A and B are shown apart, each in its own frame.
Chain A
Amino acid sequence: MTVTSLSPSNSSAAPPAVHKRTDWLPVIMTAPATLALIGILYPFAIAVYYSFTNYRIVSKTYKVVGFQNYVRMFSNADFWEAMGNTLMFAAAALLFELALGFLIALLLNRSVPGVGLMRALLLLPLMVPPVISGMMWKTMLASSSGPVNYIFGLGNYAWFANPWSARFVVIFIEVWSSTPFVALVLLSGLQSLPKAPFEAAQVDGANAWFILNRLMLPMLKPFILIVLLFRVVDVIKLFDIVFATTSGGPMFTTTTIPILVYKEVFKSYTLGSATAKVLMLWVINYVISFWLASRWRKTAASIR
């Protein structure tokens, strides 16, 4: 894995050091974690190598084909459609998760009776494994035997059969199962904010919008960024929920790159070209996360 320099070179952004002249300390402190993760470099390197071969997992031999997998990937309509879906789902899911998560965090950031229970309940959707969550939602949205159509009087509408409602539902399920994570992190962020500025603002008679926009959001920014940092990667890797509900259909409308790749590996056996596609996700995740991480670095430093 490439290690690119990320740190802002201007030392003003770096936190003031508590410990001085301790060159050995960082090494010791990060060594265990580094050791643990170095192990992963090897399989990853092999995966990168595969992406330059025509490896089919049911052939006895394979050979290096250079960039052929990549070149063909870029002229492959299926790839682009799946990439479009991946990015669309990711953007939509993130938007809803952030908005909803923030609202929930605001709602639960107070000490009134019942809040503790709600916070614990909030974890429930996270506790249902995504693949089971997907299957259960499929039963809930079944056209004739599902409770959703029955309760809302929607007749026998087939949610997963209309390309747009299928997309909507997949995003909805993802939002249902992951918003609690966003809400929880933002909630703990809200709780760590200093009280004084808010009290002062209230005394000054500042309106709610001002408090939200000028005080709360900027102070919460590191948390928003860090939650994004984790969610972006997961929504781009979105697989379980799609697989359990639509398996990528109807047509190709819910096929994300992970779904496409999964089918390539296990149905078409073309591991080489599948790995090339997956590495594209790696690049996308890398770029987005890199940007988010450097933003986070800056805001975290400026707040302190």
Chain B
Amino acid sequence: MNKRSFQFLLALMVMASMLLAACAPAATPAPVKTEAPVVTEAPAKTEAPVVTEAPVVTEAPAAPEVTEAPVAPEEPAAPEFNWRQFEGQKITVFLSETPMAVAIRSNLQDFIDKTGIDVEYLVVAENEYWNKLTIDLSSGAGQFNVFMSGPTLNWGYAAADQIQPLDPYMADPTITPADWDESDFYPWALDSNRWDMTPGPVGLGKGSLWAMPVNAVNNLVTYRKDVFEQLGLTVPDTWDEWAETARAIKEKTGGEFEGKPFYSVAQRGALDTTTLSGPFYSGLFSYGGRDFHDDLSPAINDPQSVAFQTLYMDTIKETGSPEWPNMMWFDVQQGFTSGQFAMVFDVGDFVPTFEGEGSAVAGKLGYARPPAGPDGKRYSSAWTWGFSMNSKTTGDQAKASWLFIAWASSADSMVSFAKTGSWPTRVSVWNSPEVTEFANQFGNGEFRAVFDKVLAEDVAWLVAPMTEASAVEQPWVKALQDYFYGKGSMQQLMDQVAEEMTQILKDSGTLQ
């Protein structure tokens, strides 16, 4: 008995010592963290860029590349841009686990060296990222000065004053480098991040800029050239042809290709808002449908909306994978990469994976613009990853945060993002030799040619901005699944959803 108790205590002690050992090296980083910028009254406004401190280091605005060769200015420069003007500031950046975030992490030291601003960052997987961000913002803590964001979620954050407009910073030449050229951005990229807080389609593209877009997530058709050639099919140019082609593939292959199960179309379908993202909205609007009317009445049960959704869902039901109701975006990407599907209408950011080393379909792919609707309209619904700034961030820290945003949205940074497949929002970057070369490796230049057209002609922001954007998608996704299982006609189901949507808007006070 004695021995037993001794051994038990020994085990406890081992555990304790393991803990102590593990604790030791980590003892330092703990407390300092939360010096949250709660400076609400902002008294510091007057002390403009501190230029007085001895050897002021400014950079020649003409040479953006120069980091190590500072040129001392002859005269006490007044409103001139200077990367080091907020040296010593500390900002916290929150990133979603994206290829872009990987690029940011590897370039971050450049920014720190260039500006002397201390950057702390946190990276979390996308789904959890949004959750944590939402909690941080709505709790009022606001510990992340700068974070990745995009249109849909920003509307909620903007309406609650949780993020601040970026226009004043962008317009300030003392904190925006001269070579940071606003006109270089695709107009839709900035517009899709502007909202004047009027709920519904009318406020679209107007008002303040809530995020600085750096990664354009746009849609295109990717298809199996080998399969299409073998079956004697051509790539569809309209949504009706898309449905016909899908049926033809199903008929000709009998649901099998090279001895494996084979489906015509890969689209998202899980009971999640992912199902109602870019690809779906592109089709809906191309076909003449829409989500909301200008007066905020739901348009999902309009004839054209119903027509598209019926076409889309029937095609998926008849020619897609039986797993559709459970397919997240990564199932779509993975299913197509593993060679189970003939075509996919989804984001261009998947293309490097489709054509990458781990893909069963690399080198066999063709590309096409989004299918057009009956009257020739052709849209790719724009979504962008960008950077937003917390409204709690004020004074010099806000300006330092803006410097980070300006750096991350500079042409140089965007080139490095683009080379991970995070396609740029700047025209010059898309056309730069490096990105052109990178994009040209996919489909012998076909991808680039097609995507170039998409970026130039097809992209538009479509989804009606409102704080309830993802709330109204909840009954909508469910109705699509209901249709998949034959629980009613599309008209009937959409009428119901329209009612629910109106109720949601009434509950939140948007509709009276």
Inter-chain CA distance A7–B328, complex, in Å, is 50
A268 in the interface (beta carbon within 8 A): yes
Q: Can you name the residue of chain B whose Cβ is closest to the Cβ of A255?
A: B271
Min CB–CB distance B76 → chain A (angstroms): 43
Determine if B471 and A156 form an interchain contact, defined as CB atoms under 8 angstroms apart: no
A263 in the interface (beta carbon within 8 A): yes
A158 in the interface (beta carbon within 8 A): yes
Determine if A249 and B270 form an interchain contact, defined as CB atoms under 8 angstroms apart: yes
Determine if B338 and A250 form an interchain contact, defined as CB atoms under 8 angstroms apart: no
Determine if B467 and A58 form an interchain contact, defined as CB atoms under 8 angstroms apart: yes
Inter-chain CA distance A110–B468, complex, in Å, is 60
Determine if A267 and B482 form an interchain contact, defined as CB atoms under 8 angstroms apart: no
Inter-chain CA distance A163–B181, complex, in Å, is 53
Determine if A268 and B323 form an interchain contact, defined as CB atoms under 8 angstroms apart: no
B326 in the interface (beta carbon within 8 A): yes
Q: Which residues of A contact B504 (CB under 8 A)?
A: 268
Inter-chain CA distance A59–B156, complex, in Å, is 8
Contact residues, A156-177 vs B (CB, 8 A): 156-158, 160-161, 163, 166
Given A58, A145, A158, A267, which contacts B322 in the complex, CB threshold below 8 Å? A158
Given A160, A166, A266, which contacts B134 in the complex, CB threshold below 8 Å? A266
Q: Which residues of A contact B326 (CB under 8 A)?
A: 158, 160-161, 166, 245-246, 249-250
Min CB–CB distance B469 → chain A (angstroms): 9
Q: Which residues of B contact A211 (CB under 8 A)?
A: none
Determine if A145 and B338 form an interchain contact, defined as CB atoms under 8 angstroms apart: yes
Inter-chain CA distance A246–B270, complex, in Å, is 7
Determine if A58 and B138 form an interchain contact, defined as CB atoms under 8 angstroms apart: yes
Determine if B134 and A250 form an interchain contact, defined as CB atoms under 8 angstroms apart: no
Q: Which residues of B contact A252 (CB under 8 A)?
A: 271, 478
Given A144, A248, A249, A250, which contacts B260 in the complex, CB threshold below 8 Å? A144
Determine if A59 and B159 form an interchain contact, defined as CB atoms under 8 angstroms apart: yes
Q: Which residues of B contact A142 (CB under 8 A)?
A: 323
- With A58-B160, A251-B487 given, is the CB distance from A270 to B481 under 8 Å? no
Determine if B485 and A160 form an interchain contact, defined as CB atoms under 8 angstroms apart: no
Determine if A156 and B271 form an interchain contact, defined as CB atoms under 8 angstroms apart: no
Q: Can you name the residue of chain B whose Cβ is closest to the Cβ of A269?
A: B156
- With A60-B161, A145-B338, A156-B261 given, is the CB distance from A251 to B138 under 8 Å? no
Min CB–CB distance B255 → chain A (angstroms): 9
Contact residues, B249-266 vs A (CB, 8 A): 260-261
Q: Which residues of B contact A156 (CB under 8 A)?
A: 261, 322
Determine if B473 and A267 form an interchain contact, defined as CB atoms under 8 angstroms apart: yes
- With A57-B134, A59-B159, A269-B156 given, is the CB distance from A251 to B478 under 8 Å? yes
B131 in the interface (beta carbon within 8 A): yes
Min CB–CB distance A293 → chain B (angstroms): 28
Q: Which residues of B contact A269 (CB under 8 A)?
A: 134, 138, 156, 467, 471
Q: In the complex, which range does the number of interface residues on chain B fall in?
A: 35 or more
B385 in the interface (beta carbon within 8 A): no
Determine if A248 and B271 form an interchain contact, defined as CB atoms under 8 angstroms apart: yes
Q: Can you name the residue of chain A whose Cβ is closest to the Cβ of B135?
A: A57
Interface core residue of B162, B321, B325, B482 (most chain A CB under 10 Å): B325
Given B159, B482, B485, which contacts A58 in the complex, CB threshold below 8 Å? B159
Determine if B130 and A266 form an interchain contact, defined as CB atoms under 8 angstroms apart: yes
A143 in the interface (beta carbon within 8 A): yes
B273 in the interface (beta carbon within 8 A): yes
Determine if A58 and B130 form an interchain contact, defined as CB atoms under 8 angstroms apart: no
Determine if A144 and B487 form an interchain contact, defined as CB atoms under 8 angstroms apart: no
Q: Which residues of A contact B470 (CB under 8 A)?
A: 267-268
- With A143-B321, A144-B261, A269-B156 given, is the CB distance from A57 to B473 under 8 Å? no
Min CB–CB distance A273 → chain B (angstroms): 9
Given A155, A157, A249, which contacts B325 in the complex, CB threshold below 8 Å? A249
A247 in the interface (beta carbon within 8 A): yes
Determine if A250 and B325 form an interchain contact, defined as CB atoms under 8 angstroms apart: yes
B157 in the interface (beta carbon within 8 A): yes
Q: What does the 1/0 interface line of B111-137 toward A look like (CB < 8 Å)? A: 000000000000000000011001000
Determine if B157 and A58 form an interchain contact, defined as CB atoms under 8 angstroms apart: yes
A295 in the interface (beta carbon within 8 A): no
B46 in the interface (beta carbon within 8 A): no
B346 in the interface (beta carbon within 8 A): no
Q: Which residues of A contact B138 (CB under 8 A)?
A: 57-58, 269
Determine if B323 and A161 form an interchain contact, defined as CB atoms under 8 angstroms apart: yes
Inter-chain CA distance A179–B259, complex, in Å, is 39
Q: Which residues of A contact B340 (CB under 8 A)?
A: 144-145
- With A247-B271, A248-B271, A269-B467 given, is the CB distance from A143 to B338 under 8 Å? no
Q: Can you name the residue of chain B whose Cβ is closest to the Cβ of A156?
A: B261
Q: Can you name the residue of chain B whose Cβ is closest to the Cβ of A251?
A: B481
Contact residues, A26-65 vs B (CB, 8 A): 54, 56-60
Q: Can you name the residue of chain A whose Cβ is closest to the Cβ of B340?
A: A144
Determine if A267 and B273 form an interchain contact, defined as CB atoms under 8 angstroms apart: yes
Determine if A161 and B271 form an interchain contact, defined as CB atoms under 8 angstroms apart: no
Q: Which residues of B contact A60 (CB under 8 A)?
A: 160-161
Inter-chain CA distance A59–B161, complex, in Å, is 9
Q: What does the 1/0 interface line of A209-247 toward B look like (CB < 8 Å)? A: 000000000000000000000000000000000000111
Min CB–CB distance A246 → chain B (angstroms): 6
Determine if B485 and A250 form an interchain contact, defined as CB atoms under 8 angstroms apart: yes
Determine if B321 and A251 form an interchain contact, defined as CB atoms under 8 angstroms apart: no
- With A143-B322, A144-B261, A269-B471 given, is the CB distance from A249 to B481 under 8 Å? yes
Given B131, B271, B474, which contacts A246 in the complex, CB threshold below 8 Å? B271
Q: Which residues of B contact A157 (CB under 8 A)?
A: 322
Q: Can you name the residue of chain B whose Cβ is closest to the Cβ of A149?
A: B261
Inter-chain CA distance A77–B481, complex, in Å, is 17
Determine if B324 and A161 form an interchain contact, defined as CB atoms under 8 angstroms apart: yes
Report 14 cross-chain contacts, Cβ distance below 8 Å, ordered by A residue: A58-B157, A59-B160, A60-B161, A142-B323, A145-B338, A160-B325, A245-B326, A246-B326, A249-B271, A251-B482, A267-B273, A267-B474, A268-B471, A268-B474
Not counting A58-B467, A155-B261, a sample of 16 additional A-B residue pairs whose C-beta atoms are within 8 angstroms of each other reads A58-B162, A59-B159, A142-B323, A143-B323, A144-B260, A144-B340, A156-B261, A157-B322, A161-B326, A246-B271, A247-B270, A247-B271, A247-B328, A251-B481, A269-B471, A270-B508
Which residues of chain B have a CB within 8 Å of any CB of chain A?
130-131, 134, 138, 156-157, 159-162, 260-261, 270-273, 321-326, 328, 338, 340, 467-468, 470-471, 473-474, 478, 481-482, 484-485, 487, 504, 507-509
Closest 9 CB pairs of A and B: A249-B271, A58-B156, A268-B471, A57-B138, A158-B322, A250-B325, A160-B326, A267-B470, A58-B160
Which residues of chain A have a CB within 8 Å of any CB of chain B?
54, 56-60, 142-145, 155-158, 160-161, 163, 166, 245-252, 255, 263, 266-270
